[in-house]
Amino acid sequence: MLVSIVIINYNTFQITCDCVESIFRFTKNINYEVILVDNASPNDNPDDFLVKFPGIKLIKSKENGGFAKGNNLGIAAASGDIILLLNSDTILREDSISLAATTLAKLPDVGALSVRLIYPDGKLQHTARRFRSIKNELLDLLRPFLMVLPYKKRASIMLNQYFKGDYNTYADWVSGAFMMFHRSLFDKLPDKKLDERFFMYGEDQLWCYQFYEHGYKSYYLAETTVIHIHNASTEPSKQLRLLKKFLALELKIMEYRKGKGLYYYIFSVILTFKEMLRYYIKIAVYKLFGHRIR
């Protein structure tokens, strides 16, 4: 079994080097290759990666085509039967790749597998999720009622922030920061490659849904942990721009799933109200207490 690890670099030379070094340090129990795709970084010389890591495969893209297109370039050069998409701002601290690959090999019904991701301060990132729906958005608005349910019941219904990431579980979709799948699944995808319709953000949910359409579930592996830096800005105007971008992406995914009918428009109203309400609560907490809530 060979795992092809695909990493995208865009102007993050030292962060990417830290990621690759952690792979070499901790990955011991499986054969692997590292494929590094430089997405036409204007401030990095991609050949410097070969000086530091002569054993990697380096692909120099002629353009910054985004996350999906960059990963497709890397996958096209892959030799492994298992693909791992790994964000450049992740740091391994144990042999997570071997455990993930071994687990994936035992789960023939799984399309995408991810692991427990944490911020550098140790806080959990909520990366095991349900697909959005009108029912789940309404349940999220009625959070106090959900909190009376036993933890595992509540977590199994909603996942996301209701789930502490403390046990292995099937999910609807998982994070693209660490996403592992069998290369053979590509034969089932549109154009036999990862969907490139999104430049950045939202791709992981879309890909997992496309796996789901072909009968494959997603899986969250809590038994191993990877650090994902993923620093979000606390500057309010940037948060609002990102929120608007995420809302637009969620609506595009819902349109893909359900079409642009009555369900779509009801969902749009509920989601926008809920997320804007959450945004203003976060801003109020930050201004009053100087503390950013995720």
pLDDT, one tens digit per residue, over 66-95 is: 899 999 999 999 999 999 999 999 999 999
Cβ atoms 20, 50 nearer than 8 A? no
Given 181, 197, 228, the domain boundary residue is 228
Report the SS3 class of residue 109.
Answer: coil
Given 228, 257, 277, the domain boundary residue is 228
Higher per-residue confidence, 54 vs 279: 54
Looking at the structure, tell me whether residues 173 and 136 fall in a common domain.
yes
Query: Domain total for the chain?
Result: 2
Looking at the structure, tell me whether residues 207 and 245 fall in a common domain.
no
Tell me, what's the pLDDT at 163?
A: 96
In-domain check, residue 139: yes
Pairing of strands 217-228, 110-118: parallel
Give the lowest-confidence range in 128-137, 178-187, 195-204, 236-245: 236-245
- pLDDT reading at 293 higher than 70: no
Looking at the structure, tell me whether residues 189 and 283 fall in a common domain.
no
- pLDDT reading at 237 higher than 70: no
What pLDDT band is residue 230 in, cutting at 50, 70 and 90?
Answer: confident
- What is the spatial distance between Cα 147 and Cα 248, in angstroms, rounded to a whole number? 29
Looking at the structure, tell me whether residues 40 and 122 fall in a common domain.
yes
Mean pLDDT of the chain: 91
- pLDDT reading at 59 higher than 50: yes
In-domain check, residue 27: yes
Looking at the structure, tell me whether residues 180 and 242 fall in a common domain.
no
What pLDDT band is residue 232 in, cutting at 50, 70 and 90?
Answer: very low
The pTM assigned to this predicted structure is 0.91
Looking at the structure, tell me whether residues 60 and 168 fall in a common domain.
yes
In-domain check, residue 274: yes
Give the lowest-confidence range in 40-44, 148-152, 218-222: 40-44
Tell me, what's the pLDDT at 277?
A: 83
Tell me, what's the pLDDT at 292?
A: 59
Looking at the structure, tell me whether residues 43 and 109 fall in a common domain.
yes
Q: Rounded mean pLDDT of 217-243?
A: 78
Quote the percentage of the chain above a pLDDT of 90: 74
Using alpha carbons, list the distances in angstroms from residue 159 to 21, 164, 179, 246: 32, 8, 18, 19
In-domain check, residue 79: yes
In-domain check, residue 255: yes
Looking at the structure, tell me whether residues 207 and 178 fall in a common domain.
yes
Query: Which structural domain, as residue segments, surrounds residue 243?
Result: 236-289
Looking at the structure, tell me whether residues 174 and 210 fall in a common domain.
yes
Higher per-residue confidence, 63 vs 206: 206
In-domain check, residue 294: no
Looking at the structure, tell me whether residues 118 and 249 fall in a common domain.
no
CATH code of residue 214: 3.90.550.10
In-domain check, residue 73: yes
Looking at the structure, tell me whether residues 41 and 184 fall in a common domain.
yes
CB atoms within 10 A of CB 72: 19
Tell me, what's the pLDDT at 286?
A: 65
| DSSP bridge pairs for 74 | none
- What is the spatial distance between Cα 80 and Cα 25, in angstroms, rounded to a whole number? 20
Looking at the structure, tell me whether residues 284 and 178 fall in a common domain.
no
In-domain check, residue 138: yes
Given 187, 205, 228, the domain boundary residue is 228
